[in-house]
Structure 1
Amino acid sequence: MTAATPEPQRVALEDGRLIAVTNPQDVLVWPSLSEDSPYADGIDGLGAGDVVIDVGAHIGLTALYFTDRVPGVRVLAFEPARRTNAALADNAARLMPGVRVFDVALGAEPGTAELTFLPNHTMMATIVSNDADDDRNMTAVLGNFGVDDDTREHFWRDFRDGLQRYEVQVKTLGDVLDEEGITEVGLLKIDVERGELPVLRGLRAEQWAGVRRVVAEVHAVDGNLDAVVELLHQHGYSTKVFQEDVFVGGSVHIVAASRPGT
């Protein structure tokens, strides 16, 4: 029997809106997201009725950013982790008109996959587990924030506490677009902890022309970053690769891709 998903806790943003969270620290990313977002160029020029695909939506802060900036935008938000999806659904229902929530992962082939879920760090849920890469990135983050030794010791002691693994459904993005009758995507946003390339490989060749822009968080492990950039170039995109200050020394990069004239 599957344990019942607990009711989400809610935390107030600075503007008073209550956000359902998996942990109170979930909202700490909101100021940087809303003020200096890596997705700002990705939504430039989008309007009501345009489609954003949010793969790895977590609790929905990126979706909230999209709907705040582009009234009337249509967002399809994908989050397979059960506890996180419950918070996402709560937020979408109360705060984000035009957002539909899907409790599946996206990959290169339909089927199932094992999700690794860290209850204390739910943003790191993934179907492409790599402990060494996680450790490298969190070491970089702690160093870039100047965290003291005592806090670091506490962090690592609790980092994987309560780790869960369970099966989730996987669909391809191509199949989802067919099911939803979508032929034009204004922005494809991806943040799935090393599962970026399989998400992109889930598009069929003829569907790529309908995707205007891509912004993906890509982990530079096992040739993943180079492969993502090469695939985007093959499909006619120009790309920009950069690393946010918080991840300097880690593997996490942002790949922003657009078609000429978009």
Structure 2
Amino acid sequence: MTAAVSDLHSVALDDGRVITCTTAQDTMVWPSLSAGSPYDAGLAGLAAGDVVIDVGAHIGLTALSFTDRVPGLRVLAFEPARRTYACLADNVARLMPDVTAFNVALGAEPGVAELTFLPNHTMMATIAADDADDERNMAAVLTNFGVDESTRDDFWRGFRDGAERYPVEVRTLGDVLDEQGIAEVALLKIDVERAELPVLRGVRPEQWARIRCVVAEVHAVDGNLDAVVALLTAAGFTPEVFQEDVFAGASVHIVSARRAES
């Protein structure tokens, strides 16, 4: 059951556009998408008509920034969390005519998975729950922002309040590419909290030649980062791995990979 827009909130961006969100916290990422974004390299050279796949689209701010920077991009945005998808769908309908929203997760095989949703931290929704990794990453972020002990205590007290777990549909990216008639993907963006490797495994071997660039947030847990780099290398990409300052000491890295011939 998808949340009703009347149950959600509205926040005005600095340019006056109104964003539907679950809480005002959802829009805090917006300034970082316009300057020094990890997606800058992936957007380089894109033009109107190019296709971008946004896996883990949240409320649609990344898609909005992509279409702002490259007008005419066609974006397919995937978000399985009910309340977050309601925001995404509303934002797409009002602000992004070239974006199509899908209320599903992407994975290695089609089926159903359990999604963990934290109402106070909606960007951490995932079908690959790992409480220890979440806490380690958030502790690093709090340290990097210089948050004092009193504020940290308040943060942790409400961290998992209202946590929800429910089943969501899972599809493969390979099936989506075929069903949507996508001949070429200019940029595959992935941000799915430890479920990035299954997303990539959902692309069939013969389909990799149709993807020009991948930019993924990858958590270095259980060999995940090495496996992602190895998969992309084998598929003909040249991956580069870096870590944003805010995640120093955390498991979160960015893998940016472009096809070797491009």
- Does the 8 A contact of 1:183 with 1:207 survive in 2? no
CA gap 1:261/1:236 in 2 versus in 1, 3 angstroms: closer
Aligned letter for 1:214?
A: V
CA deviations over 1:215-239 (Å, ceiling 9, x no partner): 0000000000000000000011001
Aligned letter for 1:194?
A: R
1:106 to 2:106 alignment: yes
1:88 to 2:88 alignment: yes
In the alignment of these two chains, the number of paired residues is: 261
CA distance in 2, matches of 1:100, 1:156: 36
User: RMSD over aligned Cα, in angstroms?
Assistant: 1.1
Give the equivalent residue in structure 2 for 1:260: 260
1:63 to 2:63 alignment: yes
CA deviations over 1:58-104 (Å, ceiling 9, x no partner): 00111011100111000000000000000011111111120000000
Give the equivalent residue in structure 2 for 1:166: 166
CA distance in 2, matches of 1:220, 1:206: 27
Q: Secondary structure at the match of 1:64?
A: helix
CA deviations over 1:149-188 (Å, ceiling 9, x no partner): 1110010000000000000000000000111011200000
Give the equivalent residue in structure 1 for 2:230: 230
Deviation at 1:260, TM superposition (A): 2.6
Give the equivalent residue in structure 1 for 2:205: 205
CA distance in 1, matches of 2:220, 2:3: 36
Q: Secondary structure at the match of 1:185?
A: coil
More displaced stretch, 5-14 vs 182-191 = 5-14
- Does the 8 A contact of 2:3 with 2:82 survive in 1? no
- Structure 2 unpaired stretches of 5+: none
- Structure 1 unpaired stretches of 5+: none
Q: Secondary structure at the match of 1:215?
A: strand
- Does the 8 A contact of 1:54 with 1:188 survive in 2? yes
- Does the 8 A contact of 1:114 with 1:166 survive in 2? yes
Give the equivalent residue in structure 2 for 1:121: 121
CA distance in 1, matches of 2:122, 2:149: 23
Give the equivalent residue in structure 2 for 1:147: 147
- Does the 8 A contact of 1:218 with 1:253 survive in 2? yes
Deviation at 1:6, TM superposition (A): 5.3
CA distance in 2, matches of 1:5, 1:218: 32
Give the equivalent residue in structure 2 for 1:15: 15
CA distance in 2, matches of 1:211, 1:3: 31
Deviation at 1:132, TM superposition (A): 0.3
Aligned letter for 2:236?
A: G
CA deviations over 1:171-213 (Å, ceiling 9, x no partner): 0000001110112000000000000000000000110000000
Give the equivalent residue in structure 2 for 1:138: 138
Q: Secondary structure at the match of 2:45?
A: coil
Deviation at 1:4, TM superposition (A): 5.0
- Does the 8 A contact of 2:59 with 2:88 survive in 1? yes
CA distance in 2, matches of 1:3, 1:176: 22
Give the equivalent residue in structure 2 for 1:243: 243
Matches within 5 A, 1:213-228: 213-228=213-228
CA distance in 1, matches of 2:45, 2:173: 23
CA distance in 2, matches of 1:69, 1:114: 35
Aligned letter for 2:183?
A: T
Aligned letter for 1:177?
A: L
